[in-house]
Amino acid sequence: MNILKKNYGWIIVTILASLPLLVILRMINIDFSNGIALSFAENTVGEGRTTIEMLYHVSGEFAIRWMTAVLTCTPFFILFGVNNLFVRQAMGIATAIWSLIHFIIFIAAEGFSETFTQVNYIAGFIAVLILIPLFFTSNRKSMKKLKRNWKKLQSLAYVAIFLSLLHVAILDKTWIIYAVIVGLGFIIRVPIVKEKLIAIRQKK
Ligand code: HEM
């Protein structure tokens, strides 16, 4: 029971992040008979969307939601004094995996070279590239090894969210809510604001 008490945060993130996979798996057929071939199931979704539109929607939305959540961890810590490295790490992994699933769906539907045909795809692609080193260094071992450079490397996450928001904004899909949440987080991190908020919290 003690183990569960200690780990419930990242276990909840893992379950929440995995559940939409069930939705995705219903919409694709994976054929292993000749290497790996992906094809899209037909008529699995309603809402006036095609299967591929729904796949982009589910994977893209979860990618940006988890990315927003990771960047909200530090402001959350400033406001409430609650911090959990493993929860943040699990959120980071969820971000990278959902972004990658989103990109794999694109490659399966359009082909890799299509990535370079539109500015918004290129922005998304650079964001995905940035997530790779972040994914592999989001652990204590890398933190110790990279020391001060670790923070510098992790601050690339700001570039990733900016590019992702740009990608979604150009596509004219839901982006303002994520920009507002991330923007508020940045205001909370400003040293003067941060010190004031911590002082208020500690007075209580
Ligand atoms: C190589 C990288 C990427 C490619 C090629 C790509 C491609 C696409 C495509 C084709 C769509 C559907 C557009 C439409 O329905 O008109 C889409 C939507 C979307 N993408 Fe990406 N994307 C990439 C990276 C990302 C990343 C890194 C994120 C966020 C972390 C992201 C978040 C979204 C979101 C939120 C949507 C809108 C989904 C909806 O509500 O329908 N994408 N993307």
Tell me the average confidence (pLDDT) per consecutive run of 10 residues in the chain, 204 residues long.
77 94 86 79 70 92 98 94 89 96 95 97 98 92 91 94 98 96 96 94 81
The dihedral over CA atoms of 55, 57, 60, 63, expressed in degrees to the nearest 10, equals -90
DSSP-based three-state secondary structure for 30? strand
- Phi then psi for residue 171, to 5 deg, are -75, -10
- 167 C-alpha to center of ligand 1: Å? 7
Query: CB-based contacts of 30: which residues, under 8 Å, 6+ apart?
Result: 36, 37, 38
pLDDT value of position 51: 85
pLDDT recorded at residue 112: 97
Of 99, 110, 171, the one to substitute when testing ligand 1's pocket (max ligand atoms within 8 A of C-beta) is 171
Determine whether the shortest distance from the Cβ of 178 to ligand 1 is under 6 A: no
Taking the centre of ligand 1 as the mean of its atom positions, its distance from the CA of residue 28, in whole angstroms, is: 18
**Per-residue pLDDT, 102:** 97
Ligand 1 within 6 A of 56 CB? yes
Q: How close is the Cα of 95 to the center of ligand 1, in Å?
A: 13
**Which of 68, 166, 173 maximizes ligand 1 atoms within 8 Å of its Cβ, making it the mutation to test the pocket?**
173
Instruction: Please indicate whether residue 103, judged by its CB atom, sits closer than 6 Å to ligand 1.
Output: yes
**Sequence-distant (≥ 6) Cβ neighbours of residue 120 within 8 angstroms:** 166, 167, 170, 171
Contact in structure between 105 and 61 (CB atoms under 8 Å): no
pLDDT at 44: 59
Ligand 1 centroid – CA 53 distance (Å) = 10
Residue 178, Ramachandran bin (φ over 0: left; ψ between -120 and 50: alpha; else beta): alpha
The answer, as to whether pTM is greater than 0.75, is yes
pLDDT of residue 127: 98
Neighbours of 26 (CB within 10 A): 11
Residue 127 beta carbon below 6 angstroms from any ligand 1 atom: yes
d(CA 60, ligand 1 centre) in Å: 5
pLDDT value at position 146? 92
Whether ligand 1 lies within 6 angstroms of the CB of 99 is answered as yes
Position 46 scores a pLDDT of 63
